[in-house]
Amino acid sequence: MTKGIKITTIGGGSSYTPELVEGFIKRYDELPVRELWLVDIEAGKEKLEIVGTLAKRMIEKAGLPIEVHLTLDREAALKDADFVTTQFRVGLLDARAKDERIPLKYGVLGQETNGPGGLFKGLRTIPVILDICNDMEKLCPNAWLINFTNPAGMVTEAVLRYSNIKKVVGLCNVPIGMEMGIAKLLDVDHSRIRINFAGLNHMVYGLDVFVDGESVKNKVIELLTDPNNSSFVKNIEGLGWEPEFIRSLNVLTCPYHMYYYKTKDMIEKDEKNAKEEGTRAEVVQKLEQELFELYKDPQLDIKPPQLEKRGGAYYSDAAVRLITSIYTDKKDIQPVNTRNNGAIAGIPDDSAVEVSCIITKDGPKPIVMGELPVAVSGLVQQIKSFERIAAEAAVTGDYEKAVLALTINPLTPTDTIAKEIVDEMLEAHKEHLPQFFQKVEA
């Protein structure tokens, strides 16, 4: 008889946790979770209690023998874990709101994982994830780290490069959202769809798309020339592509490409939204208040449908599908962030890429995609350079590297603006960026 699995979720007080719990309930036959440890920090204690109590009700309703533990003690939560999932936000939504508002003052896109916002989320997050990796080495050296924390690509890059944890997989719900969106577009079941994904997190392309093993890429691209079909992620409104552009590009884009191929339009839209209803973080803060009010209801024992508005659709499908496939050595194909190992030509083998992989008990085995099309390879290379230098800045607290990273990001117009944004955002996030201030004070 198996002893069952211990799963530790860091950032357990997240509004996404019911998604994850629903996933564990649905797949219990394949993935016999014995203990689920939800861990958070003092600032997240109230949310942890609310979400954790809902998780217990959901599991009780399902009649499953999963023990749910709520704790602020990360070490106790990590001890002997089999899988560690990370879904935390350093500085909470207030920090995200600064990431979104400050760049807009300079006419630069303010967004959670792209441009200055992505840089500063990475600078705040990477030291924390590396700290978690140190704990894992001591307390659960054989565990898999499944990282959902954004910017997932940059965070995975940092773990591969600056920690001793080799069993790490970065995960995002964008590829599975694209699969679901295309299944809907073609009116077929999701299980019949397969996309060859290659690129980076939030910079991933679908090189081909298959239904029952037959390529339907041309048909899908034709459907995507309709502006109503261009976005598959709840929190990014599609503006539609020029048909000539999308046909000629001849690969599937992800919703985040809007920020690069329609930068001016997206800045104008974000400026308008920031004035009228608040930035995305401010909208999410209101959504979260409503969600946590719902979660408090002692009668609620399912994941409420309102959670989909939060933008995390298919998160549990992606996360639990991945964990199950590693645990059962399923050898199915899933898009994840992992070490390149030659899958995408022109990107270093030791860098993190987002690519279709065969998922085994030894982790993801990237499928060789070869050269990216000329039309997209340059942008992918540029973002990889940005991620590498940003990760180095996060680890070293090197101010000049932070300015360099932002200057080479394609969303930043000039080095002068990059420096001004870095200066203002360093000050705004000072509390969560000690690595940049210790040297100055010393």
Q: Is the pLDDT of residue 1 over 50?
A: no
Does the active-site annotation cover 256?
yes
Q: Provide the pLDDT for residue 421.
A: 98
Q: Report CA-CA distances (Å) from 435 to 86, 164, 268.
A: 22, 21, 34
Entry pTM = 0.95
Report the distance separating Cα 340 and Cα 317, nearest Å.
24
pLDDT of residue 412: 98
Q: How far is CA 305 from CA 18, 92, 144, 373, in A?
A: 11, 23, 30, 39
Say if residue 441's pLDDT is above 70: no
Residue pair 412/418 in contact by the 8 Å Cβ criterion: yes
pLDDT at 271: 94
Confidence label for 236 from pLDDT (cuts 50, 70 and 90): low
Place of tokens 């916002």: 117
Q: What is the pLDDT of residue 226?
A: 81
Question: pLDDT tens digit string along 383-428?
Answer: 999 999 999 999 999 999 999 999 999 999 999 999 999 999 999 9
Which listed residue (106, 162, 205, 256) is catalytic?
256
Query: Mean pLDDT across the stretch 131-142?
Result: 98
Pairing of strands 332-339, 352-360: antiparallel
